[in-house]
Amino acid sequence: MLPISLCPEAVPVALVGQGDKAVRRLAQLDEGGFSVTVFADDPSPDLVLAAGDRLRRRLPTASDLGTHRLLLVADLDEGRAADLALLARRLGLLVNVEDRTALCDFHLPAIVRRGDLVVAISTGGHSPRLAARLRMAAERLIHRDWGARLARLGLLRSELRAQGKGPDEITRAVDAVIDREGWLGRPGA
């Protein structure tokens, strides 16, 4: 397994689903800034509301999938999910079918997001519940102010680079802020 972070601008996503799982997956994709087209031949009222004008009230065709890079499937019976996964792979898309590890090219981690700080927890599809529990623990440890902390460090890094500072100097400066502020506990403690 190789965890990666995808640039949402470069990876249009097709989401196929009907109900609550599709709504949750759409919220996660929206939070990540992805461009999503939602396909559902029998969408729940909640999915209709969440998807808005991105909803296509049918399953995707090869032509539909050809404009996307990822296919995510939730709330769809195994037969139709397997058929869509096969079609998507033929078109070069990577596929994730929720709760169907054998149909997946990749697994979606449990995520803690604090601004641009993203912590991902993956069990490689073996135990989504463990990943969810670890995510809940991480949410308690990584408070909401970590997004602002990261933004502060990003500004510092940009300023130092603009001054012509090298990687070692930047690393020392960032470490000094982290240590001085005690963000990760006191050094040597």
Say if CB 146 and CB 115 are below 8 A apart.
yes
Q: What is the pLDDT along the chain (189 residues), one digit of tens a residue?
A: 777 888 899 999 999 999 999 999 999 999 999 999 999 999 999 999 999 999 999 999 999 999 999 999 999 999 999 999 999 999 999 999 998 989 999 888 889 999 889 999 988 878 889 999 999 999 999 999 999 999 999 999 999 999 999 999 999 999 999 999 999 886 555
- Going by C-alpha positions, the residue among 105, 107, 103, 98 that lies closest to residue 125 is 107
Q: pLDDT at position 165, please?
A: 96
- Structure tokens given for 40: 């559902």
pLDDT at 18: 94
How much is the pLDDT for 147? 93
What pLDDT was estimated at residue 108? Answer: 86
143 vs 111, 116, 129, 150, 151, CA distance in Å?
Answer: 14, 13, 22, 12, 14
Neighbours of 166 (CB within 10 A): 9
* Residue-level pLDDT at 186: 67
Structure tokens at 43: 């969408």
What does the block give as tokens for 3?
Answer: 């965890």
* pLDDT score for 4: 84
| CA-wise closest residue to 36 among 58, 21, 55 | 55
